[in-house]
Amino acid sequence: MQNTLELGVNIDHIINIRQARFTPYPDIIEAVQRVEKAGADAITLHLREDRRHIQDADVYRVRKHCTTRMNLEMAATDEMTNIALDVMPRDCCIVPEKREELTTEGGLDVIGQFERIKKVTQRLVAENIKVSLFIEPNIEHIARVSEIGAPVIELHTGTYANLVGDEKQRELERIQLASEFAVEQGLQVNAGHGLDDQNTMAIAQIPQIRELNIGHYLIARAVFVGLEQAIKEMQQIMQQARL
Ligand code: PXP
């Protein structure tokens, strides 16, 4: 398997620690620098509407200091779109957002929210921001993405990550089929959510997938081995998957 698989590291959980005490540390720029030094391909961060971790100022600082690729996750709201258009990250990943959720739960409703998602996507695409839609591995949903005008999808792997046994295998097959279908539609396919040292290999082996976005596991692992080592271990899994 030849094609490369990139790693975007989601740094939200580093900032969760800072926000737990409102201290100046851990510093977000040090996080960006260490993630980039470890060889990650992109810095992913989610400016949530409730600002529970990443703050507006963080987004601007990361934009200034990021030397790889900044991937801003955001809800499909006018407020977030205006911020994104001011910050101008290379990539934006549009995600669904509920205030009470622990983390992003499932993909966008690209059918029910079609017009809203299309409006936000088109405003970003018009300024050359590469937009990705975080969606379920669902053919019906993927079929609507081209009409919305996003060039990329990020497949939600959280369900796969949480299942066991035959159900997990069936969800993996859904992700494989969805990836093939999306590429036939001319879309770039990324994936993420809930990926760890045990479940990433099977996802990374899907040849159509171009990028994984991983946060929680890497930051948890970093507590014991350091951020750079945690990222290197994950990259080894990803490289092995593509041998
Ligand atoms: N991709 C998207 C769109 C997400 O919202 C998140 C979580 O913020 C991730 C990837 C990373 O998920 P995790 O933290 O479970 O690795």
Q: Which atom of ligand 1 is nearest to the CA of 217?
A: 16
- Partners of 44 in beta bridges: 10, 71
Between the CA of 105 and the centroid of ligand 1 the distance, in Å, is: 10
The residue whose CB lies within 8 Å of the most ligand 1 atoms, and thus the one to mutate among 16, 44, 101, 221, is 44
104-113, 115-124, 194-203, 228-237: least confidently modelled range:
104-113
Mean pLDDT in the chain? 96
Q: Which of 93, 104, 117, 219 to mutate to test the pocket of ligand 1 (most atoms within 8 A of CB)?
A: 104
DSSP E strands in 64-123: the ranges are 70-74, 91-94
- For ligand 1, whether the C-beta of 214 sits within 6 Å is yes
What single DSSP character describes residue 68?
S
CA of 184 to the centre of ligand 1 (A): 25
Percent of all residues in the chain with a pLDDT value above 70, rounded to a whole number: 96
> pLDDT tens-digit profile of 98-154?
766 676 678 999 999 999 999 999 999 999 999 999 999 999 999 999 999 999 999
- Report whether 153 contacts 182 (CB < 8 A): yes
Q: Is the CB of 16 under 6 A from ligand 1?
A: no
Q: What is the mean pLDDT of residues 163-184?
A: 98
Contact (CB, 8 A) for 134 and 96? yes
Q: Check pLDDT > 90 for residue 24.
A: yes
Residue 213 beta carbon below 6 angstroms from any ligand 1 atom: yes
Per-residue pLDDT for 1 more than 60?
Answer: no
Would you give the DSSP letter of residue 133?
E
User: Quick check: CB of 137 below 6 Å from ligand 1?
Assistant: no
Q: Shortest CA distance to 219 belongs to which of 40, 21, 23, 4?
A: 40
Ligand 1: does its nearest atom lie under 6 Å from the Cβ of 91?
A: no
The answer to whether the CB of 156 is under 6 A from ligand 1 is no
Tell how far the Cα of 98 is from the centroid of ligand 1, in angstroms.
14
Please state, in angstroms and as integers, the Cα–Cα distance from residue 146 to each residue in 16, 33, 34, 72, 186, following that order: 35, 35, 36, 21, 8
Q: b/e for 112-135, b at 16 or more Cβ within 10 A?
A: eeeebbbebbebbbeeebbbbbbb
As annotated, the active-site residues are 46, 73, 193
Distance CA 126, CA 81 (A): 12
> What percentage of the chain carries pLDDT values higher than 90?
94
Q: What is the pLDDT of residue 187?
A: 98
If you take atom 12 of ligand 1, which residue's CA is the nearest one? 193
For residue 156, report the distance from its CA to the centre of ligand 1, in Å: 9
What's the predicted TM-score (pTM) here?
Answer: 0.95
Please report the atom of ligand 1 found closest to the CA of residue 195: 16
pLDDT at 100: 65
CA distance 121 to 132: 9
